[in-house]
């Protein structure tokens, strides 16, 4: 409820800003699509989109770039949430693209890079002009410099040296044929804001964000739960630990963290005192180089 001095709290301010951005895109761009993976950030983004147009339905489809390396929990959650909201789900499949020969599997097993051409092909096929992504500026230093409306050329490329100035909240969504805008409604949210909002709004999340005992192996100081994509290698000891996932990426490369948090409140308490960034703590794929994210973004990655 409004306070007597007409101030919004931090979460209400962020919520209002995001809703404004989402509505602006729906008003100005012809064919938007919202990238929805079933991860916590895209769950919050989808909830904000629901709020932006309630009581009407969300006026655009959602899309998942499916690497084929998903946690089953998360896929199940994705389908359930999409059905509840009555939105159309488009799946852009990396395994299909590999089978068709349009992309090649990389030797390190990561499909992080090869999902970009799959994404760009789907954008072209459906004629999408605006793509909502759940990226936050606090995630990575390349992201810290990205606009809320991020202009991309016909190849989906980001040119960090030549971004459109973004002044006040007057967003410029004008594009030529073939170009598109990546839109980041969660730009100013931090990881903690996301969790506090999930708590405040009682938003459902996949169970793997909460701690449970799992069989894990340790690789490069990170704990990977044994699953259909991760088998113990020679010399690796399988042990049982209570862990949760802090991020949800590809199941073959996303590590879990030791945790006792079985409720969202407890997750918040743990994150408040953690001394590692979420990507640093859980992502094998960002360790390649200091500028890994910057390089991927220039190629059209989110």
Partner 1 sequence: MTPEKPVDVHSPAEQAHDLVLARKDILRIATAGSVDDGKSTLIGRLLYDSKAIFEDQYEAVERASKGDYVDLALLTDGLRAEREQGITIDVAYRYFSTPRRTFVLADTPGHVQYTRNMVTGASTADLAIVLVDARRGMLEQSRRHAFLASLLRVPHLVVAVNKMDLVDWSEEVYERIRDEFTAFAAKLNVPDLTVVPISALNGDNVVTRSANSPWYDGPSLLHHIEHVHVASDRNLVDARFPVQYVIRPQMLGPENAALHDYRGYAGTVASGVLRSGDEVQVLPSGLTTTIAGIDGPRGPVDEAFAPMAVTVRLADDLDVSRGDLICRPANAPHAVQDLDALVCWMADEPLRPRQRIAVKHTTRTVRGVVKELAYRLDVNTLHRDPSAPELGLNDIGRVKLRTTQPLFVDDYARNRVTGRFILIDEATNATVGAGMLTAAG
Minimum distance from residue 257 beta carbon to partner 1 (Å): 13
Decide: is 13 part of the binding site for partner 1 (CB under 8 A). Answer: yes
Interface positions, 29-88, toward partner 1 (CB under 8 A): 51-57
Q: How far is the CB of 236 from partner 1 (least distance, A)?
A: 23
Q: Return the residue matching tokens 């999408």.
A: 128
Site for partner 1 contains 7 (CB under 8 A): yes
Closer by beta carbon to partner 1, 19 or else 288: 19
Q: What is the DSSP letter of 165?
A: P
Output the smallest distance, CB 124 to partner 1, in A. Answer: 20
DSSP per position, 184-236: -TTTT--HHHHHHHHHHHT----GGGS-EEEEEEEETTEEEE-BTTB-PPTTP
CA distance 159 to 91: 27
| 32-35 and 130-132 beta bridge pairing | parallel
Distant-in-sequence, close-in-space partners of 284: CB < 8 Å, separation ≥ 6: 110, 219, 220, 222, 253, 254, 255
Q: Min. distance of Cβ 262 from partner 1 in angstroms? A: 15
Query: x/- string (CB under 8 A) for partner 1, residues 110-149?
Result: ---------------------------xx--xx-xx----
Comparing CA positions, the residue from 112, 113, 55, 108 lying closest to residue 85 is 55
Catalog residues that contact partner 1 under the rule CB under 8 A: 1-2, 5-10, 12-17, 19-20, 23-24, 26-27, 51-57, 137-138, 141-142, 144-145, 160-161, 163-170, 172, 174-176, 187-188, 190, 192, 196, 199, 265, 268-270, 272-277, 280-281, 290-291, 294
């Amino acid at each position: 409820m409004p306070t007597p001095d007409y101030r919004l709290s931090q979460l209400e301010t962020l919520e209002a800003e995001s809703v404004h951005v989402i509505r602006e895109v729906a008003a100005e761009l012809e064919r938007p699509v919202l990238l929805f993976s079933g991860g916590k950030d895209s769950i919050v983004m989808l909830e904000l989109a629901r709020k932006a147009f309630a009581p009407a339905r969300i006026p655009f489809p959602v899309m998942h770039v499916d690497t084929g390396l998903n946690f089953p929990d998360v896929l199940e959650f994705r389908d359930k949430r999409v059905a509840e909201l009555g939105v159309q789900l488009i799946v852009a499949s990396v395994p299909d693209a590999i089978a068709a020969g349009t992309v090649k599997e990389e030797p390190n097993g990561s499909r992080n890079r090869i999902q970009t051409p799959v994404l760009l092909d789907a954008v072209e096929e459906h004629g999408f002009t605006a793509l909502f992504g759940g990226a936050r500026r606090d995630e990575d230093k390349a992201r810290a410099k990205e606009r809320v409306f991020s202009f991309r050329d016909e190849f989906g490329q980001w040119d960090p040296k030549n971004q459109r100035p973004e002044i006040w909240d007057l967003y410029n969504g004008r594009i030529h044929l073939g170009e598109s805008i990546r839109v980041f409604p969660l730009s100013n949210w931090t990881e903690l804001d996301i969790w506090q909002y999930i708590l405040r709004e009682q938003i459902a999340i996949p169970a793997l964000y909460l701690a449970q005992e799992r069989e894990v192996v340790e690789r490069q100081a990170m704990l990977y739960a044994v699953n259909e994509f991760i088998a113990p290698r020679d010399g690796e000891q399988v042990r049982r630990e209570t862990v949760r996932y802090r991020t949800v990426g590809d199941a073959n490369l996303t590590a879990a963290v030791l945790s006792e948090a079985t409720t969202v409140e407890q997750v918040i308490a743990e994150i408040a005192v953690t001394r590692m960034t979420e990507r640093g703590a859980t992502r094998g794929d960002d360790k390649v180089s200091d500028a890994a994210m910057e390089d991927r973004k220039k190629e059209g990655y989110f």
